[in-house]
Copies of this chain bind each other. A is one copy, B any other.
């Protein structure tokens, strides 16, 4: 009688493969989405990312008005257009899995609009720092979350993560401005801190509201919810932000 001696009797998989059985990362969408909680979390994630891209499009296009030269304006318009194409990919994916994109985005409109409303740049340099900080935080977040996704969703998220060119352009312009007028650095450092604070406060609002999404973010549905892990993720993203700001010549 084999009684609680090996895991064989609780699963079809060989005993040494048990992480592959539970790990969503090794599954495709068809298999992973059979779990309704996982499915709900991915719909939330795609909706949040889609509205994030649409809002980013709108803000970059708006900030293009602050551009000091035509070439700078065109550069920001190009980034905005890239964000729009990311939005389209996410929207198409939602449609493909039978979800209404608008409904999936709605729950995240208030938090993202709130973020942008609280952080409207007052000049061109603040706009560039915001584009850079926003893009970097979004990339960090995408990478954190990608590891917890099924293979099909992960591929999409990594494709959307594809560099929109914010970083290089913004860093170069901001550095030149600080070199020319070192006092600008103090003002932009304060601004970057405000951006991060507002991003964290709006994220916490989303985490509190959307159970399925939060559960997935902190270690996958199968592994259960761990509030401490949410904190650790936020703190990894904040640390990366601090390092980037220092590299830019801004004490964060």
In the complex, the answer to whether B70 meets A105 with C-beta atoms within 8 Å is yes
Q: How far is the CA of A138 from the CA of B84 in the complex (A)?
A: 24
A54-104, CB < 8 A from B: 54, 57-58, 61-62, 64-65, 69-71, 73-74, 77-78, 80-81, 84-85, 87-88, 91, 101-102
Interface of A is mostly: helix
The reply on A106 being an interface residue by CB < 8 A is yes
The reply on A222 being an interface residue by CB < 8 A is no
The reply on A109 being an interface residue by CB < 8 A is yes
* Complex copy number for this chain: 2
Which of B74, B85, B87 has a CB less than 8 Å from the CB of A74?
B87
Interface size class of A (residues with CB under 8 A): 20 to 34
In the complex, the answer to whether A65 meets B58 with C-beta atoms within 8 Å is yes
Known: A57-B61, A61-B57, A62-B62. A84 touches B80 (CB 8 A): yes
Q: How far is the CA of A78 from the CA of B91 in the complex (A)?
A: 12
Contacts of A74 in B (CB 8 A): 54, 87, 91, 101
Q: How far is the CA of A23 from the CA of B233 in the complex (A)?
A: 68
Contacts of A80 in B (CB 8 A): 57, 61, 80-81, 84
A interface with B by C-beta (< 8 Å): 51, 54, 57-58, 61-62, 64-65, 69-71, 73-74, 77-78, 80-81, 84-85, 87-88, 91, 101-102, 105-106, 109
Interface pairs (20), CB distance under 8 Å: A54-B73, A57-B77, A57-B80, A57-B81, A58-B61, A58-B65, A58-B73, A61-B62, A61-B80, A62-B62, A62-B65, A70-B106, A74-B87, A74-B101, A77-B84, A78-B88, A80-B81, A80-B84, A81-B81, A81-B84
